[in-house]
Amino acid sequence: MRKIKFFDTTLRDGEQSAGVNLNLQEKLEIARQLERLRVDIIEAGFPASSKGDFEAVKQIAETVRTCSVTGLSRSVRSDIDAAWEALKGGAEPRLHLFIATSPIHMVHKLRMTPEQVIEAAVEAVKYAKRFFPIVQWSAEDACRSELPFLAKIVAEVIKAGASVINIPDTVGYITPKEYGEIFLYLQNNVPNIENVSLSAHCHDDLGMAVVNSLSAIEHGATQVECTINGIGERAGNAALEEIAVALHIRKDYYQVETRLNLQEIKRTSNLVSKLTGVVVPPNKAVVGKNAFAHESGIHQDGVLKEKTTYEIISPELVGVPSNSMVLGKHSGRHALRNRVEELGYTLSDEEINQLFVRFKELADKKKDITDDDLIALIFEEKFDHFKDFYQLSSIQVQYGTNQIPTAVVVLKDGKGNEIQEAATGAGSVEALYNTLERCFQTPVTLLDYRIESVGGGRDALAQVFVKVRAHDIETSGRGTAQDVLEASAKAYINAINRVFMIEAMRGENEKVATP
């Protein structure tokens, strides 16, 4: 059987989703989980784009040892130099070079002739090969390119030393039949095509990213580029989990193999969803919470008699547990550490100690602590530290049907100073957010607010996700607590702290760029 490589671009293309801003610690955690999932290649970012991206790519390359780590680069030497500095410590450093090849991009964006584009692509590949053992070359907007020109430039970059040729459907425009025909055309019209691997990279603007990726595999592609949960710019990218499970379940048809550990799919999906704030729809294939739910009486009867009547994918295949471990107030530190490790999270001794304190506090209020509760606590302890910015000290909200909702908030800034403000609003959350806006002394626009319970029952934790815009920066935040208003406050503060963190990073980048 042919082997298909999975090129995961969650940390590059996926992070370009509106409102998604991952910090270094969050990117490292996702990279470690992608390594457990056993993807072949992790695209960790765009090293030349910012100091933060450079550092993230560098640390991921030095941390991950069983996957190849790559970074994106334009066809310019400065980008290639930055990528090499970031990636040279990796186990198998590779570069992802791109340049646009469609008439609309060459004329309006690049303002280059086709001959100039070929010259720039060839020069970039030759230069990159001085450093990188593997160079992947992408024809941006390949699916709206003229096929004779696409074949010509592909042949030239292969001569220059490219090892992988990627054919992106950059704007999600093409149909499965047309996409497959592009791969056949290149195989029939590029003389040296047998010297490279062909890769597919599809966007979901017309809802065809997954089926287009599968069509590419049918027509000779041996690498597929995708993201966890299908996140990405605009309508997103092809969803890794859907392609992977389709290839597994229909191995009889596709006749291919992968090295993925499918049992890590659900855990990876949950991690990416929580860290990005992009909620997985309940009816999402493979990883949605309703993916294995059967409501119809006829379906339930069939599944009880024989699962395969209506269940083509077993929950266990993708790591959905049939039951979760329950801890309680009598559980000790050792049991907590073991369960954290079983859930796939890496915590230091200090983080375990801090988590244990929070765990005991919650156990005094909630009889049983499920895996979902524990994961919520882990996320709060491991990923929500912004010591240089604002932290919540206390909130008090007064509400009554015949009263004006009023909130009082006390925050601590990075220097330990207390800030206390009060404000009113049409509702409790609005009063709370008006008060926080006063604390921050900056205008904030709330773009989205979502709340969900962690598990069920009256004592369930509340998890709030917000998306905000402040200082012309759009980002998301999350917060968890037993009280809905406390969770709402934490999510809002988390989002604003991210705004200040991004501003601080931009300031550092400007310092670096100044001669």
Q: State the pLDDT at residue 378.
A: 85
Q: 381 versus 138: which is more confidently predicted?
A: 138
What pLDDT digit, counting tens, does each position of 50-97 carry? 898 999 999 999 999 999 999 999 999 999 999 999 999 999 999 999
Q: State the pLDDT at residue 321.
A: 74
- The whole-angstrom distance between residue 423's C-alpha and the CA centroid of its chain comes to 36
Please provide the average confidence, as pLDDT, over all residues in the chain: 91
- Under 8 Å CB-to-CB from 67, ≥6 apart: which residues? 34, 35, 38, 39, 40, 41, 42, 91
Kindly list the distances between the CA atom of residue 133 and the CA atoms of 70, 197, 204, 465, 495, in Å, as whole numbers in the listed order.
12, 14, 32, 42, 40
Measured between alpha carbons, how far is 343 from 379 in angstroms, rounded to an integer? Answer: 12
pLDDT at 20: 86
Which two tokens mark 259?
């090295």
Whether pTM > 0.95 for this model: the answer is no
pLDDT band at 339 (very low <50, low <70, confident <90, very high): confident
Predicted local distance difference test score (pLDDT) of residue 422: 97
List pLDDT tens digits, range 196-228. Answer: 999 999 999 999 999 999 999 999 999 999 999
Q: Answer whether 1-274 and 389-509 agree in fold.
A: no
Which 3 state secondary structure label does DSSP give 401? coil
- What is the mean predicted confidence (pLDDT) over 434-449? 94
User: At 279, is the pLDDT very low, low, confident or very high (cuts 50, 70, 90)?
Assistant: confident
Res 32: pLDDT: 95
Does the structure show a pLDDT above 60 at 234?
yes
> What would the mean pLDDT of 469-482 be, rounded to a whole number?
90
Residue 47 has a pLDDT of 97
pLDDT-based confidence at 387, cuts 50/70/90? low
Asked if the model's pLDDT at residue 296 lies above 70, the reply is no
Sorted by where each begins, the domain ranges of the chain are 1-274, 295-380, 389-509
Concatenate the DSSP letters of all residues of 409-449 into one string. EEEE-TTS-EEEEEEE-SSHHHHHHHHHHHHHTS--EEEEE
Residues comprising the binding site?
A: 13, 201, 203, 237
Instruction: Over range 375-386, report the average pLDDT.
Output: 76
Confidence of residue 384 (pLDDT cuts 50, 70, 90): low
What pLDDT was estimated at residue 215?
A: 98
Distance (Å, whole) CA 157 – CA 344:
41
pLDDT at 145 over 60: yes
Q: Distance between the two ends of the chain, CA-based, in angstroms?
A: 55
**10-43 pLDDT, tens digit each:** 999 999 888 788 889 899 999 999 999 999 999 9
The mean pLDDT value for 341-353 works out to 84
With pLDDT > 70 as the criterion, what percentage of the chain qualifies?
Answer: 93
Q: For 175-195, what is the mean pLDDT?
A: 97
List pLDDT tens digits, range 305-338: 777 776 789 899 999 876 556 787 778 888 888 8
Confidence of residue 304 (pLDDT cuts 50, 70, 90): low
**Residues of each annotated binding site for Mn(2+):** 13, 201, 203, 237
Least confident of 290-294, 411-415, 424-428, 435-439: 290-294
Whether the per-residue pLDDT at 299 is higher than 70: the answer is no
Per-residue model confidence (pLDDT) at position 328: 79
Q: At what angle do helices 428-440 and 484-513 cross, to 10 degrees?
A: 30
Q: How many residues does the chain have?
A: 515
Q: Which residue has the higher pLDDT, 374 or 434?
A: 434
Q: How far apart are CA 214 and CA 198, in angstroms?
A: 13
How far apart are the C-alpha atoms of 335 and 379, rounded to whole Å?
Answer: 18
pLDDT of residue 514: 29
Could you tell me the fold of the domain covering 1-274?
Answer: TIM Barrel (3.20.20)
* More confidently predicted of 507 and 404: 404
- Does pLDDT of 105 surpass 70? yes
CATH class of 389-509: alpha beta
* pLDDT exceeds cutoff 50 at 515: no
The side-by-side arrangement of strands in the sheet containing 473-481 is 445-454, 461-470, 473-481
For residue 295, what pLDDT is reported?
A: 55
Q: Where do the DSSP E strands lie in 113-178?
A: 134-140, 164-169
